Amino acid sequence: MNRRGNHNIHGSTWSYSVPHHEEPVCFACLVECLEDDDVVMVKKRPALAETLHLIHLKNFIDDLQRNVEIAVHFSFVVLDLIENTESSFASNAVEVLLKLLSKMDSGELLESILDHIQEKMLHTENPKDSLPLIVLLGRLVKVFSPVSGILCHNYEPILQRMINGLSQPDEDVQSNTVFLFVYTFVGPWETIVPLAVQQALAQEVVCLLHTAKTPYLLRNLMALLKNLISSSDLTQMLMTLDLNNLTLLTSLKKLIINKDSDLQRSALYVLSCILSSGIEEYRNTVLNSDIIEFMFEALHSQIPDQQKFVLDCVESLCHSDLFYMKCHAVYGLESLLYALESLLGRRNSELCSTAFSILATILTRQPSSVPLFINSATLTSCLQLIGQGIQQQHPQVFLASLWSLAAVIRKTHLLLPIPFEELEKILQIMLDKLSKAELSSSSLIFRKKASHNRMEEYPKQDPMESALRIYVACIQLLEECWDDPLTCTTTYVSQDSQPTETSIQQFKEFIVNSCLDKMLPLVMKIVDRGDNYMLCQCLQKLLLELYRTDSTKCSQVLVQMTSEGLLSTIINRREEVVEMDTETQFLLQLCHVLHEEDTPEIPFPEWVHKAIPDLKYSLADYHQLITPHISEDLRNLYIFLLYHMCKLDDIPLSGQEILHIINNSVGSQFSPVQLSPLTKRQIVFLWAFAVSLLQNNIQSNNPAGALALRTVAEEPPSDWYTHHSAFLYWVFLDTEVCHKAGPQIIDSWLAGITSTCVIDSNGLMENLEENYHLFEMFANADFTEAFMMTLLSTLTEVASLSSEILRHCLEKVIEMDSSDDFVLCVRAKGRQLLQDVFLREDKSLNEDHLYNTMSIFLMTFNIPLVKLEGRDLKLFYHVSKWLCEEEVDRYPELTEMFLRLIILYIEASDSLSSSVSLMMIQNVRLLRSFEKLLHTHNPDNVAGLTYGIISYLMEFSAQTGQENNSNPCVTISIPLHPLEKRLKASSPIMQHCFLQVLATSFQCKFMNPLFKFLNVGRFNPDLNCPFSSSDITSIFCYLQQFLVHECLKTKQTALHCLQAVVNYLSYTDLKLYDDLLTHPWNTAVMEVMVQMTDDDAESIATTFNMLQFIFDSNTGHQIITESPELMQIVSRFLNEQKDNTVAKPLQHQCSHLIQKFLQIIPEQYKQQYRTLGVQSSSNPHDIINVHK
């Protein structure tokens, strides 16, 4: 089959072994078969297939390379087959020819083929007859890209011939011709394809687009058109071409209306490419046509590519004024919102971002005279979609949604009544999103994409910048709508109900509060990073608008933001400012607020207005501020700004740099005398501030320092004081200031504290200690003395706070058991202050000052008084005089303090203490005052302390033999009834002191020349006793209860009193004596007292004394001997105390008690407790001595 009859004449030269064939295949036979007209096509088809097999053989191709003329001949044979055979066979022939050209890669062969094609086409009149060759050329151009260049350079007639053929009505020819040109116009075709060919083809394309009907032709035309519009010149020609009202736009409109979605997308893509060039002429041409209406209709498609191309077109068009003049925005808004809803549902982030950007542009540029929203439903839909966009996680969708929100907040857009509630919901969503994004370091919301630059009006922005613009728009909306009742709604309420806020009032409250509480803190975090100055400018605009809306709240926020670095940030970035007017206006407003907050009594200086426009140096260029060329106004302005920054603890410069500036200002050509009061005040503060920063490590010869010291020493604090801790530290660090003006400065500082804090509030002392380190400052005696002077402040609140601070520090010192120097310093200064108060003529504030100072003075007696000095006696004289002259009932607390002081002086272990008691005994008026305090209804503490003093005086009179004085100068009556009221008093002081006076009374057997007892004669054994037998029994029972009291001092006094009562009865009434000592309660009290003894020397000694008292009383033996349980408890207690190191000083008494215990217990128990005596007899001599 592969060989013809004349095969023998061919030889074996062109025979090749082919896989799957037993015999070699002869190429010559195949060619003869293909070119033989007598051979039917059915037989030629296998021959053509065999040639394709041969072309895959390398040795065959190598032979053809050596015999190109044979390859050319074979190509012509194949070309004839392509022209003269049916389409299916022709397509196979084309594949063979393409494969041959591919394998041989021969330019000579290609040129021969193209020459042959050109000759054929030029001699063929009917283009349809050249269709197979056109198809072949199309395949050649598609498969071999260099062919397009060869055609354009060497075979232009073929191209012209094919362009002419496009005018024929045969769409097969047209489609294949266009297909050829699609692959011809690739690469750098503008320099390859002849200009005449380009222009002619462009015209034909426009015509064909209008007349073409088959999809294949239309698709090829659109593919060619995409290539053509890549040339700006051809695009210009296409857009201006008008062939009897036949234009490119009319053709494209036809395709957009077409139901074929592929053609729709192609037309929209072409149009978007044309508009993307940004040429205004093209945009106007499109806008003046009606194609844009059909573009908006195409947005209703669900195909993403189609929506993208339409959005790209609209995005270009919406930047033109003509877009709005033709009302395209109004007609296309609903389609845009429909597409946006669809895109949000499919989460197409890229197209959502584009759609929101378009929406923002339309909302921004739409003329206010033309309403954009025709009904409330459309507006509601728009707001809801913006809210959904803000909730999206994609950063560009979120940002574009913010742009849309900022643009829609206009009175002209929002239909009446304004949907304030809906806006509030959207803003809340935005705030929540920004807060979460700021907290999350991995959030993409704050990351910028350099590739996204879709809108001229909206260059790359931080989301915070957009949020600030939104708040500015909200505030402006409030201003526009505030006086218009039609813009807001009011919730319906009954006539009896209280009126509620309107929607605009609620919206204003939300805007102000959310801005101050949430928005501004978020913005300040970003401003502090220093990488977005535009954000800082937007912030200034917002604050200006906010100040006009709510000046009170905004003023507070401005002060807070200044403390967080806003003012220093603005000054340091002054050179980067773009909108200088806005910043100047904001700085001026900020200066007004800071000045009103600080010194409202001083008029706002005019030089601030004059100097702000000249503010050009950053704080880093502080050396420029000490040069002679700077004006006085500008220098004062920098001091003004530096003052407020430092006052609010935003420290922009070091202490040394601050000193340089203020020293130069004071020592410059401007005389300090010429300094305005405001500037001088600020310089004084800056000096104190710098001294605090430098810890007073400054050089001498400081003009500003001399000015500051002279000012604070000679002028009233109202002229120079600024409430700040720097002044407090200045007093602490500088001894000269402490001596000259320390009390005034500290007084002013405390006044500032009282004006901002509640003195009795929880945590105030801890806050002061933590923030001002007062505890460390009190280590300085000069500072402590200056601070204590504020106890005599004319301001009651200051004196009270000073007392509270000193009391807190004293408690801390006492608790820590630290150095006594501070306590002794406070005691000495307090004594001096008390004497000063007593001696001054103005008595108006005496009681307050005495109370504050005395409360501190009494606390210092935690360190016992070693001896009484002359100054103490002077103070005692003043206190006694006060108790005699003043109406003590009016000042119970002060009276109590003075009574405490008298007791402390009496108890002082000084030889002069007797002088104190002697002075009181000789002071009749003082004794009468004591008597009055006992007989009038005074607080228990006052009465109790008076009883305590009486007990000391009774003991003193007994010791000095006053009882032998038969003619005393005065006799004071002592009321001891009602007993139960005093013994059950809630005041521990009353209980303790009353027990003390009872003990003394029983000891002296109720006889004393200075004191007489009321209600005597009730006890027959002793008529001087004011008690009856039942009273004494009651006292004995109460004393038993006090023996187990928690307070050791009360327990000791009760034991002392019990001993006195028992001793008294042993002389006066033996029956009652025996009855009380054998009372059943004694056993229980004894058990409890022994078991509850604390592990300290005083508590152990008290129990020892009680046991000693019981053991020494014959009747008391029964308490021990009749109770085996009590014997066991006492034995265990004594055994434990033998080896107790705490009770070591009491070992002698313990040994004596053990021996006494062994003596009184019954004989049957002595063997059981024998070991107790043996173990305690380690030192028999001591035991014997104690026993003796």
Residue-averaged pLDDT of the chain: 81
CA distance 239 to 203: 11
DSSP string over 643-702: HHHHHTT---S-HHHHHHHHHHHHHSSS-GGGS-HHHHHHHHHHHHHHHHHHTT---S--
Confidence at residue 84, expressed as pLDDT on a 0 to 100 scale: 73
Whether the Cβ atoms of residue 1032 and residue 1061 lie closer than 8 Å to each other = yes
- Describe the crossing of helices 1070-1077 and 1048-1068 by its angle, rounded to 10 degrees: 140
∠ CA(917), CA(922), CA(926), 5° rounding?
A: 85
Q: What are the phi and psi torsion angles at 974 (to 5°)?
A: -115, 115
Q: Return the bridge partners of 972, or none.
A: 1011
Which of 556-565, 623-632, 909-918: highest mean pLDDT?
556-565
Q: Which residue has the higher pLDDT, 886 or 922?
A: 922
Alpha carbons 271 and 310: distance in angstroms, whole number: 9
C-alpha distances in Å from residue 1159, one per residue of 165, 1078, 1108, 1147, 1149 = 150, 19, 13, 18, 15
* CA–CA distance, 952 with 959 (Å, rounded to integer): 11
Query: Which is it for strands 1011-1013 and 972-974: parallel, antiparallel or unpaired?
Result: parallel
For the segment 477-519, what is each residue's pLDDT rounded down to a tens digit? 888 887 776 666 654 444 444 444 567 888 888 888 888 888 8
Please report which helix (H) or strand (E) contains residue 26, including its range: strand 25-26
Query: Rounded to whole angstroms, how far apart are CA atoms 747 and 788?
Result: 10
In angstroms, the CA 335 to CA 64 distance is 65
- Mean pLDDT within 592-618: 86
List C-alpha distances in Å: 704 to 195, 270, 649. 84, 76, 21
Q: Report yes or no: 532 and 446 within 8 Å, Cβ to Cβ.
A: no
Confidence of residue 745 (pLDDT cuts 50, 70, 90): very high
The pLDDT value recorded for residue 9 is: 63
Cβ atoms < 10 Å from Cβ of 234: 21
- pLDDT, position 385: 93
First to last CA, the chain: 157
- Dig out the tokens for 716 from the structure: 């009233």
The CA distances from residue 368 to 19, 142, 364, 414, 1166, in Å, are 82, 55, 10, 11, 117
What pLDDT, on a 0 to 100 scale, did the predictor assign at position 384? 92
Q: How far apart are CA 86 and CA 1134, in angstroms?
A: 136
15: phi then psi, degrees, rounded to nearest 5: -100, 140
Burial label for 91, CB within 10 Å (0-12, 13-18, 19+), is middle
> Which residues make Cβ contacts (< 8 Å) with residue 819, sequence separation at least 6?
813
Give me the mean pLDDT over the 945-969 stretch.
Answer: 72
pLDDT in tens, 300-350: 888 888 889 989 999 988 988 898 888 888 888 899 999 999 999 888 889
Taking the C-alpha atoms of residue 846 and residue 839, their distance in angstroms, rounded to an integer, is 10
Between β-strands 15-16 and 25-26, what pairing exists: parallel, antiparallel or unpaired? Answer: antiparallel
**What pLDDT digit, counting tens, does each position of 623-637 carry?**
666 666 778 888 888
Whole-number Å distance between alpha carbons of 218 and 261: 12
User: Is the pLDDT confidence value at 60 over 80?
Assistant: yes
Backbone angles phi, psi at 302, to 5 degrees: -100, 5
Mean pLDDT of 1112-1137: 76
357 pLDDT above the threshold of 90: yes
Residue 744 in this model has a pLDDT that exceeds 90: yes
Query: For the chain, what percent of residues have pLDDT higher than 90?
Result: 8
For the whole prediction, is pTM greater than 0.85? no
Strand partners, 26: 15
Burial (Cβ within 10 Å: 0-12, 13-18, ≥19) of residue 37: exposed
Q: Which of 538-542, 987-991, 1095-1099 has the lowest mean pLDDT?
A: 1095-1099
pLDDT at 149 over 90: no
Q: How confident is the model at residue 1 (pLDDT cuts 50, 70, 90)?
A: very low
Q: Per-residue pLDDT tens for 649-705? A: 888 888 888 888 888 888 754 455 578 889 999 999 999 999 999 888 887 778 888
Residue 688 has a pLDDT of: 92
Identity (one letter) of the amino acid at 995?
Answer: L
Kindly state the average pLDDT of the residues 11-17.
73
- The CA distance from 936 to 953, in Å, is 20
Tell me the pLDDT band of 456, cut-offs 50, 70 and 90.
very low
Query: pLDDT-based confidence at 963, cuts 50/70/90?
Result: very low
Mean pLDDT score, 248-267: 86
Contact 468, 542 (CB under 8 A): yes
Is the pLDDT assigned to residue 62 strictly greater than 50? yes
